[in-house]
Amino acid sequence: MPTETAGQVIPVTDERPAPDQGRSQPGSLERGIDLLLALSAASRPVTLSQLCRSTGLPKSTAHRILGVLCSRELARRVGSAYLPGELLESMAGITRARVPGTRTVVLPYLLHLYETTRQTVNLAVPWGLEARYVERLYGHDRVRSRSDDSDRAPLHCTATGKALLAYDPRLRREVLARGSFERMTRRTITTLAGLERELAQVRRHGVAYSQEEFTEGVACVAAPVFGPCGRIRMAVGVAAPAHAAPLAKLSISVRGAAQAISAAFLGG
């Protein structure tokens, strides 16, 4: 009811907050954290719709925040989907956490492969629609590659990438859906039919090759590593100067290392 003060009538209002008025809505920082947590938990690229379902954010809000995260390298876009960015990976150690198995199992075989070949040894896992190099062993005179700065490379024109594609049906479908592929050198396979023929050869022989398809002057050999369930877990590769790479000899060493690692996973 109204009260009278100094000749004025002042209405008395009920100042109790509405049921939802006292609840603070999440701010941009909290929403961004929710998106980063969802990205970090994903093993494959996550679409905007999937992120919205997992975080409860409206598409317009999620899209705006993801744009900021991508500009700051906390997220990155792969096609129409998203993955953690370089900065988030380095801060959280995501790359190392995603290596199937442990270094204690793999590293002795990689060291032996390097001692046998005296060439750059790579261990790669799928990372979105790319190959991610999570271990590398090399000497002072290592062969230089376009992936040295980023530790990432396309799947369609690298030996490790082809090994991953050949034995991972889901990954292969995602990549082949593109229909055509970026030309990195004059030798790069850029057609769907050409890549499918190449992957059939990988499955037939158990080893993949890339002869100056990603980097001029570099030839690579890779083989798949399988887990106890028979699914591919990673690929082991060796990179060498194209003009002097004994591919047949290297393929024997690489395939032997991959088989040994697979057997170690099976026994462990």
The tens digit of pLDDT for each residue in 142-163 reads 888 877 777 889 999 999 999 9
- Phi/psi at 133 (nearest 5 deg)? -85, 115
Tens-digit pLDDT profile for residues 95-127:
544 554 567 889 999 999 999 999 999 999 988
Average pLDDT over residues 162-186: 91
Helix (H) or strand (E) holding 167: helix 159-167
HEC string of 100-120 equals CCCHHHHHHHHHHHHHHHCCE
pLDDT in tens, 126-144: 887 889 898 999 888 888 8
The count of other CB atoms within 10 Å of the CB of residue 37 is 11
Residue from 144, 115, 100 nearest 242 by CA: 144
What confidence score (pLDDT) does residue 92 get?
55
pTM above 0.85, yes or no: no
Which tops the pLDDT comparison, 16 or 150? 150
Q: What percent of the chain has pLDDT over 70?
A: 84
Sequence-distant (≥ 6) Cβ neighbours of residue 2 within 8 angstroms: 9, 10, 11, 12
> CB within 8 A of 92, min separation 6: which ones?
40, 84
CA 107 to chain CA mean position, Å: 20
Q: Tell me the mean pLDDT in the region 41-66.
A: 87
Query: pLDDT: is 76 or 90 the higher one?
Result: 76
pLDDT band at 43 (very low <50, low <70, confident <90, very high): low
